[in-house]
Amino acid sequence: GARTRPIRLARAVAEWKEFSANAIKTTTRGKTTIMKPEGHALDIATVGLGQAGGNLAAEFARRGYRAIALNTAHTDLASLDAGGVFPEMPEGRRLYIGLEGYDGAGADPIYGRQCIATHKERIRMAVLEEAAAADVLVLACGLGGGTGSALTELIGVLEEDGIPMIALMTLP
């Protein structure tokens, strides 16, 4: 419930602080790389929620990271086809999570939460298939009032799998 979220957040922050205190940070040509204490780079996977999140996940995929896009709109997922405006996302890494008869949340975060709750097992399986071995999961979304604004519902679905998560959010 709402009372346990601050405790979970505090625990996650404490775990991140402990990890980053032991991490090796190197800077080459102005780019900082965080590495595990063993000297290996972090294994990052990305989940994009909604149109903005899907576009960000596609960019991560283009740069060689494992990524998956979740959306309630077929049209937004189709915009990730080759030759589109946004980077291409392979079809197998795009998951439609909408409800029959609808195409997108239309600035209705309640619909987005409902879709995530309805498809939570499909979402968990798809994310675990893509990110089970990841050190950290980057959750990307836009907070414009649609599917991406249901990010807290997605966190609730994924938190029991124990993969540390970081949220990357954009504002309209």
Mean pLDDT of 144-162: 93
d(CA 48, CA 147): 10
Q: What pLDDT shows up at residue 4? A: 47
Residue 151 pLDDT > 60, yes or no?
Answer: yes
Share of the chain above pLDDT 70, in %: 77
Whole-structure pTM value? 0.76
Q: What pLDDT shows up at residue 125? A: 95
Q: What pLDDT shows up at residue 160? A: 85
Q: Which carries the bigger pLDDT value, residue 125 or residue 4?
A: 125
pLDDT, tens digit, 9 for 90 and up, residues 29-81: 666 565 555 555 788 999 999 999 999 999 999 888 899 999 999 999 999 98
d(CA 57, CA 48): 5
Residues 94, 122: contact at Cβ < 8 Å? no
Residues 6+ apart with CB under 8 A from 78: 84
Render 68-116 in DSSP notation, one character per residue: EEEES-HHHHHTTSTTSSSPP--GGGEEE---TT--S-SS-HHHHHHHH
- In this structure, which amino acid lies at residue 9? L
- In angstroms and rounded to an integer, the radius of gyration of the C-alpha atoms of the chain is 16
Mean pLDDT taken over the chain = 84
